[in-house]
Amino acid sequence: MEYLVTMTTHVPDGTTPAEVADMRAREAANTSVLAAQGRILRLWRPPLEPGEWRSIGLFVAGGPDELEATLATMPLRVWRTDEVTPLTSHPSDPGTAR
């Protein structure tokens, strides 16, 4: 099943730039692993306000529990809230013809 996940990150006050850089590096490395495993298909960054961190991802999981297990592996999760939208197929989806 596919899920659209809006991930909004709130960096805690007092976090140093070095801590932010470390967290982002760990998140990028983990995302590469998840992509190689086929658990993240796509990532987008919508228009953002200054200081805002938000991404939208297309994830694949066998169900809500598996998706939660995937999201829990992501280092930024400790600073983030996630909004999950389960997706179902559409009979007119042009992607199904591929």
* pLDDT at 61 > cutoff 60: yes
Q: What is the mean pLDDT of residues 39-44?
A: 97
Please list, in sequence order, all residues whose beta carbon lies within 8 angstroms of the beta carbon of residue 2, skipping any fewer than 6 positions away: 41, 58, 59, 60, 86, 87
Which CATH entry fits the domain spanning 2-88: 3.20.20.70, 3.30.70.1060, 2.60.40.10, 3.30.70.260? 3.30.70.1060
- Cα 96 to chain centroid, rounded: 24
Please state the pTM of the whole predicted model. Answer: 0.88
Domain assignments of the chain as residue spans, ordered by start: 2-88
Q: Given pLDDT bands bounded at 50, 70 and 90, which one contains residue 37?
A: very high
Give me the pLDDT at residue 83, please.
Answer: 97
Backbone angles phi and psi of 30, in degrees to 5 = -65, -40
Proportion of the chain above pLDDT 90, given as a percent: 82
